[in-house]
Amino acid sequence: MRKPRAIIFDDEPVVLDVFKLFFEARGYEVMTFREPVTCAVYGDHEDCPRPSPCADIIITDFRMPKMNGVELLLAQARHGCKLTTKNKALISGYIGDDHRSMIDELGAVFFPKPVDFDELMAWVDSCEPRMDLSSPLAIKRREARHACSLDVLFGTRQDGDILRGTTVNMSAAGACLRTKHQLEPSQQVIIQTKPPNPPQQAAVRWVKNSGNGSYLVGMSFHA
């Protein structure tokens, strides 16, 4: 089981610190940002193709550089953010009726500033049953992957079959494989390339049907 993750957007460092302490005390991994981006993990890209969300809870301030909190939530919805809006909240000292209506339509929650932390705690309690802590979250790629085409053999821990695939890109942290074998997110696999490279243990992060009976599989190597 992994830790739950909270992502907080606010341009005031003191506010970020308070929320960070609050969630860390509950056992959360916390990511904080002073400027909003549509996806805090992958950046502002095209529609999200990944099956799992980047966080279990997102909280955003309303007034921020570049875009306000409502615009952020709307942009996430347009890009196919995988986190349910029931686990998203917006905070503000003042917000107009039109923006309040947008928040309600999205299904997110509004907290006035200063935030009542008893109310916040009750909301977090209501969010936690919607979290699947057995499913890995999307993770930020720490280093660029380079394009390559290597034939590899790999197997899963569920059976002893030897499967075949071809790398599309690779780095020290992970790889993307093209294979005719459908895998599932969170599956553990062992990848074998040509010697002298040793076998590499990895976790499946996402799977995408690329057509013609093949799949693209994103994997992260275990440290």
Question: Residue 82: which region, alpha, beta or left (left: phi > 0; alpha: psi -120 to 50)?
Answer: alpha
Q: Which residue has the higher pLDDT, 33 or 211?
A: 33
Final residue of a structural domain among 104, 130, 156? 130
- With beta carbons less than 8 A apart as the criterion, state whether 219 and 193 touch: no
- Identify the residue with better confidence: 205 or 6: 6
Residue 135 lies in a domain: no
Residues 78 and 179 in one domain: no
pLDDT at 75 over 60: yes
Is 70 a member of any domain?
Answer: yes
67 and 157 assigned to the same domain: no
Q: Is the pTM of this model over 0.75?
A: no
Q: Would you say residue 180 lies in a domain? A: yes
Residue 14 has pLDDT above 90, yes or no: yes
* Torsion over CA: 105, 101, 7, 118 (sign): negative
DSSP annotation of 121 reads H
Same domain (yes/no): 104, 196: no
- Are residue 64 and residue 114 in the same domain, yes or no? yes
**How far is the CA of 64 from the CAs of 12, 76, 93, 108, in angstroms?**
9, 16, 13, 18
Provide CB contacts within 8 A for 175, sequence distance 6+: 145, 167, 168, 169, 191, 202, 218, 219, 221
Structural domain count, the chain: 2
pLDDT reading at 45 higher than 60: no
Cβ atoms of 158 and 187 closer than 8 Å: yes
Q: Give the pLDDT confidence score for residue 92 in this predicted structure.
A: 94
Q: Decide: helix, strand or coil at residue 117.
A: helix
Among residues 172, 203, 161, which one has the least CA distance to residue 186?
203
CATH code for the domain in which residue 186 is found: 2.40.10.220
User: Is residue 138 included in any domain, yes or no?
Assistant: no
In a domain, 88, yes or no: yes
140: pLDDT strictly greater than 80: no
Answer yes or no: do 123 and 21 share one domain: yes
Q: Domain check: are 71 and 169 in the same one?
A: no
Same domain? For 125 and 150 the reply is no
Residue 136: inside a domain: no
Q: Is there a domain that residue 140 lies in?
A: no
pLDDT above 90: residue 172:
no
Return the number of other C-beta atoms located less than 10 Å from residue 219's C-beta.
27
pLDDT reading at 122 higher than 80: yes
In the prediction, which pLDDT does 202 show? Answer: 85
Where residue 73 sits, what CATH number does that domain have? 3.40.50.2300
Let me know whether 161 and 113 are in one domain.
no
Q: Which domain holds residue 54?
A: 5-130
Establish if 139 belongs to a structural domain. Answer: no
- Let me know whether 109 and 174 are in one domain: no
120 confidence band (pLDDT: 50, 70, 90): very high
Closest alpha carbon to 187 in 168, 151, 161, 210 = 161
Q: Show which of 75, 100, 130 is a domain's final residue.
A: 130
**CA 110 – CA 65 distance, rounded (Å):** 20
Return the bridge partners of 221, or none: 202
13 and 107 assigned to the same domain: yes
Among 130, 159, 174, the domain boundary falls at 130
Q: Is the same domain home to 115 and 205?
A: no
Same domain (yes/no): 179, 95: no
